[in-house]
Amino acid sequence: MDAQLKTQASQPLDWWPSPAKLNLFLHILGRYENGYHQLQSLFQMLDYGDRLAFTVVQNSTIEMATPLEGVPDDENLIIKAARLLAKETGYKGGVSISLDKRLPMGGGIGGGSSNAATTLVALNHLWGTGLQEDALAELGLSLGADVPIFVRGLTAFAGGVGEEITAAPQEEKYYLVANPNVHVSTADVFTSPDLPRNTPAMKWEDYKFENTHNDCQQLVANCHPEVAKLLQWLVHYAPSRMTGTGACVFAAFSDYTLAEQVKAEMPDTWQSFVAKGVNRSPLLDKLEEQK
């Protein structure tokens, strides 16, 4: 290890938040000619998620200091985001990235997309590449439809394929988020002939949780009985719904203590956490602190 890396390795890591999100509802309005689906959804930011730390190096190496098991660097959205930012801005240096992974992969709570967004936002600052938020969001869209939501960092309504974003502050509730420990393929959900694709468009100002639904939920519950079982268990305690294409399920509470009490009663076979719904991502707060 060279002297520069030794010095950096001896310093405590500076962690950047990579928060989870929930889709409080997900309506599928139809399908575009290119095969993408026209959606409406409400993305609720949470104050809980993964963390990433970035050690800037002078050479051009971009690598994970903590590789994800089963995910080669070339397929990792974190590495893809860093390489994309370097390419688009002409940045010649590199970075070693550490990941503290707490969110389940493939759970529908945005772990991979959030990781990519945090990488774009943090490295744009640390590398001094100077892109504005709109440009970062546009880069993020090429990595995944949900990445711009995390770049902008606000609880928001989304339309189109998810890129039409309107900030929509919500009452800050507490959410018990549970993982039924099954993997749901987003591609399989969106290519299924049984997926509803004809929900009428709604006006954002008419939103109420009880007047919305998740068009993917029944299909996923039919294919994955453990998701159905978890939903049936949670709904006895509070309004509950699957997020995104699953597999995670959430229940909404106005009281933190009650959410924790229900979590304590949950069978050990399901992993879960309680988080506060926030209108501003902790990633934006971290960026503000750095300026």
pLDDT tens profile 42-96: 999 999 999 999 999 999 999 999 998 889 999 999 999 999 999 999 999 999 9
Assigned fold of 3-168? Ribosomal Protein S5; domain 2 (3.30.230)
Q: What percent of the chain has pLDDT over 90?
A: 85
Residue whose pair of structure tokens reads 């309004």 in the numeric block = 239
Is the bond into 251 cis (omega within 30 degrees of 0)? no
- The residue annotated as part of the active site, out of 21, 80, 173, 286, is 21
Q: Can 134 be counted among the known catalytic residues?
A: no
Q: CA angle, corner 19, sides to 270 and 155, nearest 5? A: 110
Q: Can 21 be counted among the known catalytic residues?
A: yes
Which CATH superfamily does the domain covering 174-278 fall into? GHMP kinase, C-terminal domain (3.30.70.890)
pLDDT surpassing 90 at residue 145: no
What's residue 104's pLDDT?
86
- The residue annotated as part of the active site, out of 80, 146, 173, 215, is 146
Domain ranges in the chain?
A: 3-168, 174-278
Per-residue pLDDT tens for 244-278? 999 999 999 999 999 999 999 999 999 999 999 99
